Structure 1
Amino acid sequence: MTDPRERLEEARRVTLRRLASLTEDFDEVVAASLDTNADDEHDPEGATIAFERSQVGALVRQARERLAELDAALARVGDGSYGTCERCGRPVGAERLVARPEARTCIDCARLSRA
């Protein structure tokens, strides 16, 4: 297994690139909406532009949330608590951390929180 800090920093770099791309996409959608009829309700293209803006905005928010989670995971590496479940105190599990390096909980606790 590679160093957790390296995995987290790589995931952070990927997320930053994704966020930059999504932000550019969002700006393009907003700019496109300025060139169209501002009446989304009556403009057949307005609903599409509003939908695209909403979709890209949601993806931007998700990328920002992931970035915050990765930063928090890096802080846990620094304080020695990385890889320990925040709910039960057991190990999160190597496979889970490979799949989701920012994971705060073991798979059992993650399942419980979704139920």
Structure 2
Amino acid sequence: MTVEDRERLETERLRTVQQLASLSRDFDAVVEASKDSNADDEHDPDGATVAFERSQVDSLLQQARRHLDEIDDAQSRLDEGSYGVCESCGRPIAAARLEARPVARTCIECASARR
């Protein structure tokens, strides 16, 4: 593919790594804050909120880690020469789709058919 594709993936990877760092700090802050709170979530009105926040941040962390894996896979496909080729039908993935979703594995038609 093109230099722009590689740069787009590298930019997306950097953004995701920064997001992971920020979310990790947020998660650590929530955990630290919960150490000072009442451990009885059932009777502590703030306990449920802390547990919810911890769960939310953890979900976002997991999502960012999966996205980082997708970026790494896309970079591998780029190195192999299969980036931008639909894994379902073998046709090229439109440049606009790759610009909007650099980790796309399928063309719009195949992605729409899966739904």
Task: Give the TM-score normalised by structure 1.
Answer: 0.95
**d(CA) in 1 for partners of 2:19 and 2:12?**
10
**d(CA) in 2 for partners of 1:25 and 1:108?**
38
**Runs of 5+ in structure 2 lacking a partner?**
none
CA shift at 1:41, angstroms? Answer: 1.3
**d(CA) in 2 for partners of 1:81 and 1:63?**
24
Sequence identity of aligned pairs in percent?
Answer: 61
Q: Which residues in structure 2 correspond to 1:1-115 (within 5 Å)?
A: 3-113=4-114, 115=115
Q: Which moved further from structure 2: 2-11 or 14-23?
A: 2-11
2:10 is paired with a residue whose SS is: helix
Matched residues, number: 114
CA shift at 1:43, angstroms? Answer: 0.7
Q: Which runs of 4+ in 1 moved over 6 A?
A: none
CA shift at 1:92, angstroms? Answer: 1.1
**d(CA) in 1 for partners of 2:113 and 2:34?**
43
Counterpart amino acid of 2:108? I
Counterpart amino acid of 1:79? E
Counterpart amino acid of 1:73? A
Task: Give the TM-score normalised by structure 2.
Answer: 0.95
RMSD: 1.1
